[in-house]
């Protein structure tokens, strides 16, 4: 499942998130797993991450849970939400999200969006096969579907569909928010 959720954020919520993301930038923590020494099945990535009150409240709001549940076709439960800041060269190699991100909502907030590459064609691979494909392609296989987050919040089955973001180009940071949801057992 991959869909645009054009109505999930009103203008004022989007503005509040952007303001908070900029305010939290100073306290954001770098996570650098770009090293070749990471294990063969570890996802390679590097970016800055932060959380925030507004982000958390929105993530847990009834309206967000209802909208995402409706779009996903299952009842979702908020798990983790983060602001992500991509500086020049920051990236995330081909991966599937952790299980608590069965459904993930990715929201562009500021800066050049760059494409997120999504690979439904690789969904059937097991973890070892996926790592091999990733390694052989230097983390960024071609032929994925390219999605620009500026075109609207993207909802997808993050723990199912492999995806990656090539090294961020340009000096201006990309600022975005990621909202992960687990699925409530039926």
Ligand X SMILES: O=C(O)CCC(=O)C(=O)O
CB of 134 to Fe ion, least distance (A): 13
Of residues 165, 102, 104, 161, the one with CA closest to residue 130: 161
> Residues 178, 179, 181, 182: which binds ligand X (CB under 6 A)?
178
Instruction: Output 28 or 84, the one with its CB closest to Fe ion.
Output: 84
SS3 call for 84: strand
Per CB under 6 A, does 59 bind ligand X? no
CB of 186 to ligand X, least distance (A): 26
CB of 164 to Fe ion, least distance (A): 8
Which residues, in sequence order, are CB contacts of 35 under 8 Å at separation 6+? 44
Of residues 150, 165, 167, the one with CA closest to residue 88: 167
Residues 68-107 as x/- pattern, contact with ligand X by CB under 6 A: ----------------x-------x----x--------x-
CB of 27 to Fe ion, least distance (A): 22
| 30, 62 contact by CB (below 8 A) | no
> Which does residue 50 touch among ligand X, Fe ion, none (CB within 5 to 8 A, set by kind)?
none
Region 35-54 residues binding ligand X, contact defined as CB under 6 A? none
CB of 167 to ligand X, least distance (A): 11
> Residues 111, 163, 179, 181: which binds ligand X (CB under 6 A)?
163
Per CB under 5 A, does 97 bind Fe ion? yes
Give the position of tokens 């180009």: 169
d(CA 34, CA 43): 8
| Count of residues engaged in binding ligand X, rule: CB under 6 A | 9
Instruction: Output 66 or 146, the one with its CB closest to ligand X.
Output: 146
User: Residues in the site for ligand X, rule: CB under 6 A?
Assistant: 84, 92, 97, 106, 116, 163, 165, 176, 178
User: Residues in the site for Fe ion, rule: CB under 5 A?
Assistant: 97
């Amino acid at each position: 499942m991959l869909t645009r959720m054009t109505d999930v954020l009103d203008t004022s919520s989007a503005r509040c998130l952007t303001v908070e993301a900029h305010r939290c930038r100073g306290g954001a923590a770098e996570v650098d797993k770009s090293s070749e020494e990471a294990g063969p099945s570890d996802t390679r990535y590097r970016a800055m991450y932060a959380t925030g009150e507004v982000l958390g409240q929105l993530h847990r709001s009834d309206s967000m849970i209802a909208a995402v549940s409706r779009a996903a076709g299952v009842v979702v439960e908020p798990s983790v939400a983060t602001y992500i800041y991509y500086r020049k060269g920051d990236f995330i190699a081909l991966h599937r999200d952790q299980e608590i991100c069965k459904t993930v909502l990715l929201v562009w907030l500021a800066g050049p969006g760059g494409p997120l590459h999504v690979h439904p064609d690789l969904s059937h691979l097991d973890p070892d096969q996926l790592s091999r494909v990733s390694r052989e392609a230097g983390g960024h296989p071609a032929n994925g579907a390219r999605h620009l987050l500026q075109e609207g919040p993207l909802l997808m089955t993050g723990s199912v569909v492999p995806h990656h973001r090539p090294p961020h180009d340009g000096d201006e940071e990309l600022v975005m928010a990621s909202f992960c949801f687990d699925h409530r057992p039926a």
